[in-house]
Structure 1
Amino acid sequence: MKAIWYDGFGPAKDVLTFGEMADPEPGPGEVLVRVKASGINPSDVKLRGGARPGAVMAYPRVVPHSDGAGIIESVGADVDPGRVGERVWLWNAQWQRAFGTAAELVALPDTQAVPLPDGTSFAEGACFGIPAMTAWMAVCGDGPVEGQTILVTGGAGTVGRYACQMAALAGARVITTVSSAEKGAHSTAETWINYRTDDVAGAVMDLTYGLGVDRIVEVDFAANQATSLALVKPGGVIASYASASEQMPRLEFYPFMFKNVKLHMLICYQMALADHRRGEAQLTDWLEAGALSHAVVPGGRLADCAAAHELVEAGQKLGTVVVDI
């Protein structure tokens, strides 16, 4: 099979190799998927670059990318052979594993290949593993949100845009923060605030008649901690999936405690399978109803992976960069 791999950390054009590798074989409980599209997330490029503190190569060779979509080509023992030919989207393909979706074929556990509705493209399916499931976990992972007011910070981001849509579909009122009118439109939210020009806390309090919000889907916990503390209602939830501005922020413990706030620091890689299944089912319902829109940024073909990684690193794109296999 053709694949992209790296044998050591470094810049994309220096370490990513395009070439031939042996075809994988599905083991017991696994499926072999013919990959049609591979999604590239910031975590993929950070991992390839060795950006994590104390990073070491976990495997001698890595085929990157956790997200993708394709068609099941064969199955291993203990897997229903009726799954052969099924269109699927993939998650955690390269989480604690050497070989991800940047290849023509990938073998992975049967549970990590989810049926993809016929009306959803492979490129769209390659956006679900990390962006869509992180958004679902942040919005719906703690239970129903119908009737709540939810603030989504960074609503134009890959996770934020899905979160805005999912919160609205789940019956919540949505307010989001963005850095421009273009990004406000991209977010899909009816109500957005430009955090570069406006007082976010004051604007949200005006919009909620001084009540604040029930839930915050947070893109940068450290940068927004003071604002979040001011806006979250007593008994509210802050569901944060990143803190890029400061990885070890000073926590305002007692102010949060006296508002009885729940802080949920989440990562979709560690979702319990039962929770993942709930998210998959709700995502499928929305997809089959045509209720979700997707922001796919074309990343070229598999051989163009280095340039696609650089596109993610540049941070200017609106959506998930996807390479066609």
Structure 2
Amino acid sequence: MRAVSYDSFAPDNSRLKVGELPDPKVGPGQVLIEVRAAGVNPVDWKVMAGRLDGMMDAMFPVIPGWDVAGVVRGLGPDTPEFSPGDEVVSYARKDVVGGGTFAEYVAVAADHVARKPAFLDWNQAGGLPLAGMTAQRALDRLEIGPDDVLLIHAASGGVGGFAVQIARHRGARVIGTASERNHDYLRELGAEPVTYGEGLADRVGELAPGGVTAVADFAGGQLDTTLSVLRPGGRHVSVAESEVEKHGGHWIWVRPDGAKLAELADLADQGVLDVEVAATYSLDRVGEAFDASRTSHTRGKLVINP
């Protein structure tokens, strides 16, 4: 199969190459997915830079990519949940970094797979799993409901945009940080936008004089602001810094879970959850996609089309 890979860690795109690699083996309880679209996430190039090496083993050559939308083309033994031809999505992270989704095929554990939302096209579906499930896990940990005033750091980003939509669906009032050029976008999603940067706590205080009940940090470096705007007894989570745990917060990592992904797919099919696609790239242009992701200024999802 044709795939993107790298044979050693690198802080840039210098080790990326496109070529032929063996098709994935399909073990018991796994499905072989023909990849139609694979979302790009910051973790993809961070893994390539070796920044998760202390946490996860790697088997080179590594095929990057943890998001996938595609068609089931093969089944391992004892996999009754799916059939060839099924259209599916998955957050396809594995215990060992290696066989990712920036390829023509990927093998994934069946319990990490869900049916593709019919309401979404392939590119939208390919951008849903990791970012959508990260937002979902953050809001589940915060137990967000209709009585909450939620502040979301980086609300217009890939994860933040999902979090706004899910939180609004749960009835919460949402205040979201973003650059001014993304304020109209946040209003369309149902959030009250506020410009990030110096003076943020004061601006949030103007919108919520009594403070907020919860904070979801998808940016990092926001702990002081978070603590200053939280009401007594407020809850907070971060995907970016473990330091929050020393201050009563939760540092979260999303887990592959087909059942939870199916909940997101259902929201998409209800018209509750939309996926904005910023740009699409071929396998030959994965480096360009990584460069765009590194800027941290992309609104919506970047997607690879093998």
The normalised TM-score by structure 1 is: 0.85
Q: Give the 3 Å change call, closer, same or farther, for CA 37–163 of structure 1 in structure 2.
A: same
Amino acid at match of 2:192: T
User: C-alpha distance in 1, partners of 2:33/2:294?
Assistant: 28
Pairs aligned (count): 304
Tell me whether 52-61 or 95-104 shows the greater mean CA deviation. 52-61
1:319 matched to 2:305? The reply is no
Structure 2 unmatched ranges of 5 or more: none
Structure 1 counterpart of 2:229: 231
Query: How far is 1:170 from its partner?
Result: 0.9
Distance 1:94 1:310, change over 3 A: farther
In structure 2, what is the Cα distance between the partners aligned to 1:4 and 1:53? 20
Identical pairs, percent:
28
The match for 1:259 is none
Alpha-carbon shift at residue 151 of structure 1 (Å)? 0.6
Corresponding residue number in structure 2 for 1:49:
49
Aligned partners of 1:155 and 1:56: how far apart in 2? 29
Counterpart of 1:106 in structure 2 is 106
CA-CA distance at 1:128 after TM superposition:
2.1
Native 8 Å contact 2:144 2:172 kept in 1: no
Aligned counterparts of 2:297 and 2:174: Cα–Cα separation in 1: 24
Cα distance in 1 for residues equivalent to 2:278 and 2:108:
26
**TM-score (normalizing by structure 2):** 0.90
Q: Partner of 1:147: helix, strand, or coil?
A: coil
Gaps of at least 5 residues in structure 1 are 257-261
Q: What residue in structure 1 maps to residue 283 of structure 2?
A: 302
1:76–1:160 Cα change, 3 Å: same
Equivalent-residue separation in structure 2 for 1:301 and 1:215 (angstroms): 39
Equivalent position amino acid for 1:267 in 2: W
Counterpart of 2:274 (choices 293, 296, 315) is 293
CA contact (8 A) 1:89 1:126 kept: yes
2:239 matches 1:241: yes
1:173 matched residue in structure 2: 173
Mapped to 2, the partners of 1:28 and 1:314 lie a distance apart of: 40
Deviation at 1:148, TM superposition (A): 1.1
Aligned counterpart, 1:268: 254
**Equivalent residue for 2:194?**
193
Alpha-carbon distance in structure 2 between the residues aligned to 1:74 and 1:239: 39
Q: Using the TM superposition, give the Cα deviation of residue 234 of structure 1 relative to its aligned residue in structure 2, in angstroms.
A: 2.0
Preserved contact between residue 280 and residue 302 of structure 2 (Cα < 8 Å): yes
1:133 and 2:114 matched: no
Look up the equivalent residue of 1:214 and give its one-letter code.
T
Deviations 1:50-92 (A, max 9, x none): 2457689721211111111101111111101752211111113
Retained in 1: the 8 A contact 2:56–2:95? Answer: no
Partners in 1 of 2:174 and 2:96 — Cα distance?
A: 35
**Pairwise CA RMSD of aligned residues?**
2.4
Q: Determine helix, strand or coil for the equivalent of 1:98.
A: strand
Query: Does the 8 Å CA contact 1:50/1:56 hold for their aligned counterparts?
Result: no
Counterpart amino acid of residue 301 in structure 2:
T
Matched, 1:157 2:161: no
Report the counterpart of residue 5 of structure 1 in structure 2: 5
The whole-number CA distance in structure 2 between the counterparts of 1:252 and 1:267 is: 13
Change (3 A) 1:28 1:215: same
